[in-house]
Amino acid sequence: MYKLIKYGLIIITMMSCKFDNVKKETEGKNSIGIQVNSFKTDYDFLRKYIDIVLLEDEKGNGKVAISAALQARVMTTTANGWSGKGYGWINKKHFISGDTLENINVYGGEERLWFGPEGGQYSIFFKKDAAFNLDNWFTPRLIDLEPFNLVEKTSKYAIFSKTASLTNYADFIFDFNIERVISVLSKDEINSVLELDVSKEISSIGYLTKNTLKNTGDKPWKKETGLLSIWLLGMFNHTPTTTVVIPYKSGEDQELGPVVNDDYFGKVPADRLKVDENAIYFKGDGQQRGKIGVSPQRATNVMGSYDDASETLTIIKFNKPANETNYVNSKWEIQDNPFKGDVINSYNDGPPEPGVAPLGPFYELETSSPAAALGIGNSISVGSEFVSKIAIIGIPNFFASATARDSMLVSMIKIRSGVFFISDIPPRDL
């Protein structure tokens, strides 16, 4: 497999929906009224509008659907073959409409490549001197509509490339090349990533992405003119019982700063955000717009989510440089500290204001690389390992294999005991 590079990311999602009922839930609505489609249904839908690159694991049960037309975006995956549940959130209404919007085209996707910062004096989403509001916010076409070139493909991996430029709020032009390599992980590689001995009888799909950003221009990238970051975002299907979990480094606020930044789009209400001595809990129910972030001083190398209704567990694990504190700040304002941004973010979609439709809805799990101060011809690589949707028979058996050091798994157990009581489904005994 491609070796995990400097800023690796692992996403592990485990789904247990009483194994005998997996096929029953692949089409139509599940027990709590959420639409569920099979991978084949989503795959066939996507092929009507865009070409799809398909990767498969060694047995052909794990499948990864990628769109070169949408920046080598992983659109959706499955762990159980063509009839298995499709896991990525796809905005079918937007595909069907055929519309091309000015601000953003929300097509969805399990893992998409973006660049930061979003806001501030070095933003790449706002033109120079524009007010920081939604009317003036425009997603660069590079990460919204422009295709990447398919360089090489086998059944196990695909390589994509794009030469491009971006201009920031300070009128600095970034000339660069981005290469994106996506490869399927074997069962042994998944276990290596997890540092656990997960039974091979458990259905799983895992993939690795490696993203390399190279300065191809004639000027070095410096703080004085702004820096870019590689930003990886996963868009997931929301349910009333989805909770995002982010473990954090404990310590005094005077030394490490606040535990969580929760005022990106106004203060997150207390009934949607909880903090205990080990982890941050945030609702991913797609019902109210909000965003949280965790600083490099507080962030560990793991985050995730758990859906109690479908018993779906998602874990994101990433390599975080020990002493790196320069991360781009994406707040929509002129900033005093443009390189004091967050490493981890989670976004929950919902109406931006009363009477206005949400973008999805969906929820997101996001990680960012440090700010890329690149000399001429230099590059950074961000590797991401995504182990998506491990379908398991009996979740407690999986949890029992975890050790005390696996704080994410411990946190998931806490969720199963009930952090948010947001459904009629009672907490279950472990």
Q: What is the pLDDT of residues 234-275, one digit of tens each?
A: 998 888 888 898 989 999 999 999 999 998 888 999 999 999
Q: Kindly indicate the confidence band of residue 394, based on its pLDDT and cuts at 50, 70 and 90.
A: very low
Instruction: Give me Rg for the CA atoms of the chain.
Output: 20
DSSP 401: T
Q: Kindly indicate the confidence band of residue 422, based on its pLDDT and cuts at 50, 70 and 90.
A: very low
Q: How many C-alpha atoms does 76 have within 13 Å on its Cβ side? A: 29
Average pLDDT over residues 102-124: 95
Q: Are the CB atoms for 73 and 66 separated by under 8 Å? A: yes
More confident residue, 366 or 32: 366
Give DSSP secondary structure letters for 112-140.
EEEEE--SSTT-SSS-TT--SSGGG----
Q: Are the CB atoms for 310 and 17 separated by under 8 Å? A: yes
Average pLDDT over residues 273-293: 92
Encoded tokens for 355 = 């009477």
pTM: predicted TM-score of the whole model, two decimal places: 0.86
Domain positions in the chain:
9-416
Q: Residue 429 has what pLDDT?
A: 45
pLDDT exceeds cutoff 60 at 363? yes
Top mean-pLDDT range of 13-17, 113-117, 194-198: 113-117
User: For residue range 304-356, what is the model confidence (pLDDT) as tens digits?
Assistant: 888 777 667 777 777 788 888 999 999 899 999 999 999 999 999 999 888 88
Q: Residue 33 has what pLDDT?
A: 57
Catalogue the long-range contacts made by 129-136 (C-beta closer than 8 Å, 24 or more residues apart): 130/169, 132/332, 132/333, 133/332, 134/103, 134/352
Residue 259: what are its φ and ψ, rounded to 5°?
A: -70, -40
CATH fold of 9-416 reads: Beta-galactosidase; Chain A, domain 5 (2.70.98)
Residue-averaged pLDDT of the chain: 83
User: For residue range 56-107, what is the model confidence (pLDDT) as tens digits?
Assistant: 999 999 999 999 999 999 999 888 899 988 888 999 999 999 999 999 999 9
pLDDT exceeds cutoff 50 at 21? no
